[in-house]
Structure 1
Amino acid sequence: MTAAGTARTAALLTWLRPALYGLVVALVLLDLAHDLFGLGVDAPGRLLLGAAVVALSTEIPRSLLARNAHRGPEPAPVEVAPPVTGRWSALNSPADKVPSHGTRAYGQAYAIDIVHEPEDRPRPAFGWWPPVRRNGDFPAFGAPVLAVADATVVRARDRRRDHLSRNSWPALPLFFAEASVRDVSGLGAIVGNHLVLDLGDGTYALYAHLMRGSLTVREGERVRAGQVVARVGNTGNSTEPHLHFQLMDGADPHTARGIPFHWRGVGVPANGATFTV
């Protein structure tokens, strides 16, 4: 498939896949409302089955797109400045495994998650109680996010709300259920509020899970390395306030391939490793 064909297919799936799965859910709810309460009309079984089959069929071109985007030799690492300042620790790091998040989809083969770990304010530990916490309990929430290089803003979204944390055993089932829904709801539901910067030479940086209303830049704007561009939030597929960072070879995560990063003065911190910038 040509690059243009890949882009067109990805654009079609971006809105078609969530719409088809949404139709299946609507038909199921309509059928339940009729059977349990006698409301509405009875959704024909054949219609529901047909909608489900069509929705599931979108997984084939989606899988082919992902496979096509990740052929060939692994790209060379690109050195950039760290996206934060202060004391942080790494989770789901590509220093330990690739793909770091268990999938190469959305250009995240070499993505990393980082959480703020200031000496004077301990981060709430994962446990049994409380099931959920307010975002203000986490030191990462509201921390400034920095441009890793001189760049141009190509994508900026920050209208999604910050949800409560899911960093507990009781909340994990809810998190996994949400993740399934987010996966078929589109990129925005997964990465939440996000920013994509064009660093030049075919390299793009994606920042995900940003705080609602925190972006200080707009699409088309030029930024300088070290400039505050947003703040850490807890939006999208996130268990607690943290920053998800990755480099890609394209502006669209649906078709982009992940690129290894190297943070200047830090390198690539391993899982659980603490680093200070």
Structure 2
Amino acid sequence: MFLKAVINIKLNIFFYSRTDRVNFLRENLGIKDINKDIARVLTPTVIGLDGFRLKNSFKKSPGYWLELVFSKDPKGRSLYNQITRKVEHNKKDGFVFYPTTDLTTRQLQEGWIDKYNFCIKNQHEDKWKLFFRELKEHMKYERIDNVYVGLNLLLRYNPFFLKKYKRHYMFEKLAYYYEQQGNITKAIRCLRLQSVLSPNSVEPYLNMSSFYIVNNMEESAIEVCKTGLEKNPRDQYLVSNLVIALS
């Protein structure tokens, strides 16, 4: 007869900010002085808890994750039940929104708004950085429609975040993906959004004109070149594209 091994109960909880994770540990488990991410399992003096780990992702989903390891005895199960009752359903492992399949724009918007609480006027910088990191993960796997919807959410709720550190260049990357797919309309839309975030730059207009020229849309290319040259009349690349479009 083989005895079935008793496995520790684990719970992974998602937080969109480092502060919220620290507060949860302090308020629910009495654990204090956690100032940085810890990869190893720590053994706290909490009855029913064997340890916990701070993680930057869970199953490829970025976040300020907290892994709790409960003891195998009744006290561990009791603490597990107590904690799970306090954690929102959509913050528990297996239920955190992380779209890897095709969803509608509305489904993506509702999922992310619920996940990151964008409607709450709390300006944790961590939240925006984390969402941007998630979008970069989706870009890595070429889930470009997800990225497009996500960037537009950022544009709606925190456009200044996209203006900083040239984060708006992700719109340019998206534009190249869409142009390669033959979706010139979506590509141009991405570049126009980039131009809104970088009003003094002619780069979006240069790329728009190039896309129009490649797709035999010379009239549109001429119009875009003229708009760009109003911002910088001496830009030689825009002048070159204008000459090509006129010839």
Same fold (TM over 0.5): no
Relative to total residues, which structure has the larger helix share, 1 or 2?
Answer: 2
TM-score by structure 2 length? 0.24
Q: Which of 1 and 2 has higher RCO (CA within 8 Å, sep 6+)? A: 1
The higher radius of gyration belongs to: 2
Relative to total residues, which structure has the larger strand share, 1 or 2?
Answer: 1
